[in-house]
Each structure stands twice: as structure tokens, then as C-alpha cells.
């Protein structure tokens, strides 16, 4: 019985914590995040006061900027992290499935990602 409960909880966490972003939302997100991606040498955590409205609407736990793009963490549990990633088109980075993190394209340079740890 405990094993069945653990499997059910794992399945629930796997689907309930994955953010949903429509293509229209992805377009707005990409447009609003573009100025943040143009910042040179400012990698790191971003304070809530600098989040565009489309980022805040995702109710993230945290947001951080890396050379490859902007990570919007919507859920985390131990080493598992899920969220939305906005690609920096100048980075030369190619997000892919089957990697860690694994990226699923939404559109307009926006991806849903999962980092397994």
C-alpha cells in the first residue's frame, strides 16, 4: 500500500508541477524578457522587483539569469526542479529533450524544462 501511495504521489508531482504556457503567453513572455537577456555580465538571481508581468504571472519560486537564458522556477522538490526557460538568442545554446535539464519547446524561444538533479 505504501508503494502504491508513493507511485501516486510521484505521478501527481510529475504532472501537477509542470507549468503550462500557451503559445500566446510564450510570445508575451519572450517579448517582455528580451531586455533582461540583453544584460551583459549580470548572471544570477533576479529580485521580484525586476520581474516583468508575464514572469510574475507564473508565480515563480525564483528567477535567475544565465548566459543561455532566463530560468523561471515554478516548482522544486529536493533536486527536482521545473519551470519555464526563455532562450537567449545570442547565446548559441540549443535546448534539447533527453538532457538534464530537459527542455520541451513551447514557441518563440520559450521552453518548459525539468532538471532532475
82 strand-pairing partners: 75, 114
The predicted model gives 3-8 an average pLDDT of 42
Q: Is residue 9 predicted with pLDDT exceeding 60?
A: no
Task: Using pLDDT thresholds of 50, 70 and 90, give the confidence band for residue 42.
Answer: confident
- The rounded distance, in Å, linking the Cα atoms of 115 and 117 is 6
Position 94 scores a pLDDT of: 94
Domain range spanning residue 81? Answer: 2-115
pLDDT tens per residue across span 70-108: 999 999 999 899 999 999 999 989 999 999 999 999 999
pTM for the model: 0.84
Name the domain count of the chain.
1
The confidence band for 40, taking pLDDT boundaries of 50, 70 and 90, is: low
Amino acid at each position: 500500500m505504501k508503494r502504491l501511495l508513493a507511485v501516486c504521489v510521484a505521478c501527481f508531482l510529475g504532472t501537477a508541477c509542470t507549468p503550462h504556457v500557451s503559445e500566446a503567453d510564450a510570445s508575451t513572455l519572450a517579448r517582455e524578457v528580451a531586455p533582461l537577456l540583453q544584460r551583459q555580465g549580470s548572471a544570477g538571481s533576479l529580485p521580484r522587483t525586476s520581474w516583468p508581468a508575464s514572469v510574475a504571472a507564473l508565480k515563480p519560486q525564483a528567477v535567475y539569469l544565465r548566459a543561455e537564458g532566463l530560468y523561471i522556477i515554478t516548482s522544486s522538490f529536493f533536486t527536482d526542479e521545473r519551470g519555464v526557460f526563455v532562450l537567449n538568442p545570442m547565446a548559441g545554446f540549443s535546448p534539447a529533450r533527453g538532457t538534464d535539464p530537459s527542455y520541451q519547446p513551447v514557441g518563440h524561444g520559450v521552453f518548459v524544462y525539468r532538471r532532475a538533479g
